[in-house]
Amino acid sequence: MMRQFDRCEGAKSGLARRFLAGALLALGLMAPGMARAAESAAVTSPRVTATLLSGRDSVAPGERFHVALVQKLAPHWHTYWRNPGDSGEPTQIHWTLPAGARAGEIAWPAPRAIRVDPLVNFGFEGTVLLPVEITVPAEAKPGETFSLKAEATWLVCEKICIPEEGSFSLDLPVAGASRTDAAAQQRIDAALAALPKPAGFRGKLTADGDGLALALPGLPADASDLRFFPFSDTLIDHAADQPATIGKAARLLLARSGGFKLEKPEVAGVLTFNEGGEARALVLTADADPALLAGEAGPGTAASPPAAVRIPVPAQGADLTLLAALAFALAGGLILNLMPCVLPVLFIKALGFAQTAHRSRAETREQGLLFLCGVLLAFLVLAGAVIALGALGSSVGWGFQLQSPPLVIALAVVMVLIGLNLIGAFEIGGSVVGVGDGLASRGGRLGAFMTGMLAVVVATPCTAPFMGAAMGYAVTQPPAVALSVFMALALGFALPVAALSFAPGLLRLLPKPGRWMLVLKQAFAFPMFATAIWLIWVASVQTGPQGVLAALVAVLAAGFVVWLVGVTRGSLTRRVFGTALSVLVVIGAGWFALENAVPGANTEARAGAVEAWSPERVAALQAEGKPVFVNFTAAWCITCLANERVALSRQEVKDAFARLGVTYLKGDWTNRDSRIARALAEQGRAGVPLYLFYPGARDAAPEVLPQLLTPDTVIAAAERAAGRDGKTAANRP
């Protein structure tokens, strides 16, 4: 435009145009933040300057055109591709458009492998354009305004990661014919031209020993610097090298992901390479060997070596020895007997001892040993599940089974049935009504064994001191070591009851059997009912109201089956009919529970200044110099709930947080969350509760608080994190 003005020499109109152009230029310099028609106002931070760029100054009805989210990144900072690699989150755009308008998906440029030791991320540095196709509705009328509004979120990282967001808007006139902004369209066209092109050939993915081989039959002979970026984040180890063989049998060797998962008979991604000194990128689809789809190693391949239960190595407790872990597990198991989760079941065991204390010493010892066997078997099953799931790449820990709503509901039903049995609604095995006569021999043995198993099941919502470090050590070790730690925990848990069965002097202090035992047995039913109520509440937190409905239907079905079994006793025909109907009721109720007990977003209300935890939020707050308290908790964790009631919800703690400028973040692990599981593992923990206090300094390590809190403990840690006591927060196991 200025060149045209400069060509007009000598004419008054030329002088006028020069004056007008100068005035417009001056106005632009005076208002640098003013948005141009083809570009939105910029959203800026010290790390990213982002705008929404349009290739059109005006649009026509029914037209398709491109806009692009432009991110200009500060040196050494990066944002993320659609598969972010080992960490991070991709940029997301949420559109608000006029009725009938449509926005396509982001057209992702080819990413780079960005190493942030020991991880490798897939993303972008420098300036990146993320194009999106927009469709104008055919009903749009000339003279109207086509308004584009976008809410974008992105994660920008260097050594720390900071979540950012921006609101962008463009108001484009609707005209009979669109008008192109040449400069903006040129930038968008260049970004579209640089997008990965279809490969024109299909690859082949097969097993290669413990890894994978990606055959590339159509690769140019002079290709170099190959790298494959899969769309799926469960296919390969992102940080591993990708050795390449070039030629007629070109292929890439890929390391399998620790959580390898292949659900479709083909894989897709972007293949980048250099050809003749020019960077190229292809969208590649590869057919997967059916053996990979089935989860097999494939013929002739080596079996994978035994893996550690968890991949993340804990930042704390890494120097914990096996002997120390066994001692911690034994001590934690002993203390676990004092947790409120276990006491109702131990009361039932005490009732069993009272029945046998004045009869046979051998029978009492047998009861104690059978209780020990039940505890050992239950811990063996739990350990096996943790080891197996961990080896498959799942993030699991102590109490993991309570993250499954169907299992929570099933446990609630078991508690209701035990309560009904205790109050005499029905009997299992021998009768306990004849208190002086005792249980039948077979029923007593089975009862002692099952009581041991049940005690372990109801103990998992609680975490005792010393258990956290021991479990955190166990889940990072090979299976044999992990199993030994679980068995030490089991021995500590069963030791008090087993030892009591071998102490006849103590047992004979109990009153002789009588009616008091029947009354006490019935009274023990109510802690079971209370436990069932609590479990149904846990299901409601996990799934919402439909989980409560599923639990109540399951309880109703269980009660109906118990009644049905009782009224169909007698003839064979009645028993067969009762059994068949019971099976149908159980199947129907089970199906209903599974359909409705679906994990959803945790619906726990966030009271006061409590925010949801994320590692990015912690980093951002530390960068601002603010101390941060993180509470990793779960609705099914009774120890967590007790700490919140006893310490965290106390007014003096809230006042201290406000006075010291502490930000309170909560990581809710009620449902499975891999990010929280990784955070627990990084601190050497395998379950909740975990309490961390981060000082208000960039990259400062957190202080780990004890698993049992008091107000004074929390306030003192808050003062250390805020630097008010002159001490530096230190890590503690």
Q: Does residue 195 have a pLDDT over 70?
A: yes
Residue 7 has a pLDDT of 39
Specify the DSSP class assigned to residue 311. S
Residue 633 β-bridge partners: 668
Rounded to 5 degrees, what angle do the CA atoms 622, 624, 628 make? 40
Q: Which pLDDT band, with edges at 50, 70 and 90, does 198 fall under?
A: very high
Evaluate whether 82 touches 110 at the Cβ level (below 8 Å). no
The per-residue pLDDT for 469 is 63
Per-residue pLDDT at 463 exceeds 70: no
pLDDT at residue 393, rounded to an integer: 46
pLDDT above 90 coverage of the chain, percent: 26
At 598, is the pLDDT very low, low, confident or very high (cuts 50, 70, 90)?
low
Residue 31 has pLDDT above 80, yes or no: no
Confidence category of residue 185, pLDDT binned at 50, 70, 90: very high
Is 611-721 a CATH 3.40.30.10 domain?
yes
79 close to 124: Cβ distance less than 8 angstroms: yes
- Kindly report which listed range (6-10, 38-42, 143-147, 527-531) carries the lowest average pLDDT score: 6-10
pLDDT digits (tens, 9 = 90+) for 518-533: 676 777 777 778 778 8
Burial class of residue 722 in the structure, from the number of CB atoms within 10 Å of its CB (0-12 exposed, 13-18 middle, 19+ buried) = buried
- Give the DSSP letter of residue 730: -
Angle at 124 between CA 194 and CA 107, to 5 degrees: 45
Q: Report, as an integer, the average pLDDT of 576-581.
A: 78
pLDDT at 479 over 90: no
How are beta strands 48-54 and 64-73 bridged, if at all? antiparallel
Q: Which residue has the higher pLDDT, 513 or 200?
A: 200
What is the structure's pLDDT at 379? Answer: 79
pTM of structure:
0.43
Position 589 scores a pLDDT of: 74
pLDDT at position 64 is 94
The secondary structure of residue 265, as a DSSP letter, is S
| Mean predicted confidence (pLDDT) in 398-421 | 72
pLDDT for position 189 = 94
Residue 694 is inside which H or E element, if any?
A: strand 690-694
The identity of residue 678, as a single letter, is R
Question: How confident is the prediction for the chain on average, in pLDDT?
Answer: 76
Of residues 383 and 222, more confidence is placed in: 222
pLDDT at res. 511: 54
Of 198-202, 289-293, 373-377, give the range with the top mean pLDDT: 198-202
Whether the Cβ atoms of residue 617 and residue 163 lie closer than 8 Å to each other: yes
More confident residue, 181 or 456: 181
Of residues 657 and 469, which shows the higher confidence score? 657
| Residue/partner pairs of 312-315 with CB below 8 Å, 24 or more apart | 312/476, 312/678, 312/681, 312/682, 313/476, 313/681, 314/472, 314/473, 314/476, 314/681, 314/682, 314/683, 314/684, 314/685, 315/682, 315/683, 315/684, 315/701, 315/731
Is the pLDDT at 225 greater than 60? The verdict is yes
What is the architecture of the domain spanning 202-293? Sandwich (2.60)
- Per-residue confidence at 23, pLDDT binned at 50, 70, 90? very low
Across 252-271, average pLDDT: 87
- Tell me, what DSSP letter sits at residue 648? I
pLDDT at 442: 37
- pLDDT, one tens digit per residue, over 287-308 is 998 888 754 444 333 333 333 3
Which pLDDT belongs to residue 110? Answer: 96
Query: pLDDT tens-digit profile of 624-650?
Result: 888 999 999 877 676 777 788 788 888
Beta strand 244-245 pairing with 663-668: unpaired
Q: Which residues contact 116 (CB under 8 A, 6 or more apart)?
A: 87, 157, 159
Query: How much is the pLDDT for 419?
Result: 76
CATH 2.60.40.1250 fits 43-193, yes or no: yes
For residue 600, list its beta bridge partners.
none
Count of CB atoms within 10 A of residue 118's CB?
Answer: 8
The answer to whether 37 touches 172, Cβ cutoff 8 Å, is: yes
In whole angstroms, what is the distance from residue 370 CA to residue 452 CA? 8
Mean pLDDT of 160-185: 89
Does 280 have pLDDT greater than 80?
yes
Q: Where are the alpha helices (DSSP H) in 158-275?
A: 182-193
Q: Token digits for 212?
A: 């994978």
Tell me which of 322 and 695 has the higher pLDDT.
695
- Which string of DSSP letters, residue by residue, matches 81-131? EEEEETS----EEEEE--TT-EE----PPP-EEEEETTEEEEEE-SEEEEE
Instruction: Please state the separation of Cα 283 from the chain's center in Å.
Output: 30
Q: Is the pLDDT of residue 155 over 80?
A: yes
Cα separation, 115 vs 241, in Å, equals: 12
Two structure tokens written together for 135: 């469709």
- Does residue 273 surpass a pLDDT of 50? yes
**pLDDT above 90: residue 168:** yes
**Token pair 């290739």 in the structure block, residue:** 55
Candidates 710, 708, 587; CA nearest to 649 is 710
**Closest Cα partner for 341 from 467, 177, 173, 520?**
467
Partners of 227 in the beta sheet?
Answer: 272
What's the CA gap between 601 and 294, in Å, rounded?
31
Determine the average pLDDT of the residues in 441-456: 66
Q: How far apart are CA 693 and CA 718, in angstroms?
A: 7
Helix (H, G, I), strand (E, B) or coil at 424: coil
Task: Look at residue 132 in the predicted model and tell me its pLDDT.
Answer: 96
Helix axes 405-422, 441-459, angle to 10 degrees: 140
- The per-residue pLDDT for 127 is 95
Establish whether the linkage from the previous residue to 711 is cis, with ω within 30° of 0.
Answer: no
- Measured in residues, the chain has a length of 733
Cα distance between residue 431 and residue 422, in whole Å: 11
Residue 6, Cβ density class (10 Å: 0-12 exposed, 13-18 middle, ≥19 buried): exposed
DSSP-assigned letter for residue 430: S
Q: Which residue has the higher pLDDT, 216 or 668?
A: 216
Please indicate whether residue 428 or residue 38 has the higher confidence score (pLDDT).
38
Q: What's the distance, Cα to Cα, between the start and end of the chain in Å?
A: 69
Residue 99 has pLDDT above 50, yes or no: yes
Closest by CA to 114, choosing from 148, 146, 94, 85, is: 85
- Residue % of the chain over a pLDDT of 70: 71
pLDDT band at 113 (very low <50, low <70, confident <90, very high): very high
Which of the two residues, 606 and 144, has the higher pLDDT score? 144
Give helix then strand counts, H and E, for the chain.
Answer: 21, 25
Tokens of 319: 């120097």
pLDDT at 590 over 50: yes
Task: Please report which helix (H) or strand (E) contains residue 660, including its range.
Answer: helix 651-660
Q: In the beta sheet, which residues pair with residue 52?
A: 69
pLDDT confidence of residue 729: 37
